[in-house]
Structure 1
Amino acid sequence: MEVQGKIKVIGETKSFGASGFQKRDLVVTTEEQYPQHLNLEFLQDKASLLDAFQVGDSVKVGINLRGREWTSPQNEVKYFNSIVGWRIEKVGAIAPAGAPEVPPFDEYEPVQNSKNEDHDDLPF
């Protein structure tokens, strides 16, 4: 899944516990009729991906939705959701000179086999 919008907040990297678990928050505001302010989490080595970005940048973020169940000491069951980022790129960024032009993900089309083509693609 992906989320697209402008960066509103880039949090500091926080470490937790003896294992050094790292987490960094990013708030992205979507650009639609009713903008949404989404808090995304970047975990462990992905936290450093945010170093190359600034507040106000337009970005596209690859995300995973995570959910978990928790039972309280009073035996009440509660559910929590989080949005975890794993990839981020600037939208409308200019490619370096000499870099090959690569179409966006959504412009790739599947390859169609013709009816006369042999479907056995083994080289022998």
Structure 2
Amino acid sequence: MDLQGKIKMIDETKTFGNNGFRKRELVITTEEQYPQHILIEFVQDKTDLLNSYQVGQNVKVSINIRGREWVNPQGETKYFNSITGWRIENIDQSANSAGMPPMPPVDAFEPASNLNEEDHDDLPF
């Protein structure tokens, strides 16, 4: 699954426990009617994927959704979800690397003023 948005925050890599478990958090803000701030965790060797990214970049992040069950000391069962990233791409560069020029805004063109509907063209429709 993929999520797209603008990078709001990139945290530093944190190391936990004796085994050296590494985790780094990224927050992206989706660009939709009701923007969402989504926290995505990158773990172990995937933490290095964030090194070349900065706040404000538009990105596409490939994620996995994880869920786990935990029983607390009182015997109550709790459920937790996490979103784990495993790939990140800069959206702005992906359009240019495909050889496609950026699209100009619609208002960059003047409307045709001398349009004659009677002129014949060779279009098949």
Residue aligning to 1:87: 87
Q: Any gaps of 5 or more consecutive residues in structure 2?
A: 100-125
- Rg: which structure is higher? 2
SS, match of residue 52 in structure 1: coil
Corresponding pairs, count: 98
Equivalent residue, structure 2, for 1:64 = 64
Structure 1: 5+ residue stretches without partners:
96-100, 103-124
Q: CA-atom RMSD, angstroms?
A: 1.4
Amino acid aligned to 2:81: N
Structure 1 runs of 4+ off > 3 angstroms? Answer: none
2:116 alignment counterpart: none
Offset at 1:39? 0.3
Secondary structure at 2:45's aligned position in 1? helix
CA distance in 1: counterparts of 2:45 and 2:34, whole angstroms = 33
Residue 24 of structure 1 corresponds to 24
Give the corresponding residue for 2:102.
none
Shift of 1:92: 1.9
Give 1:60 deviation, angstroms: 0.1
- Report the TM-score when normalising by structure 1: 0.76
Whole-angstrom distance in 1 between the partners of 2:40 and 2:92: 21
Distance of 1:22 and 1:92 partners within structure 2: 29
TM value normalised by structure 2: 0.76
- Identical amino acids, percent of aligned pairs: 63
**Partner amino acid, structure 1, of 2:88:** I
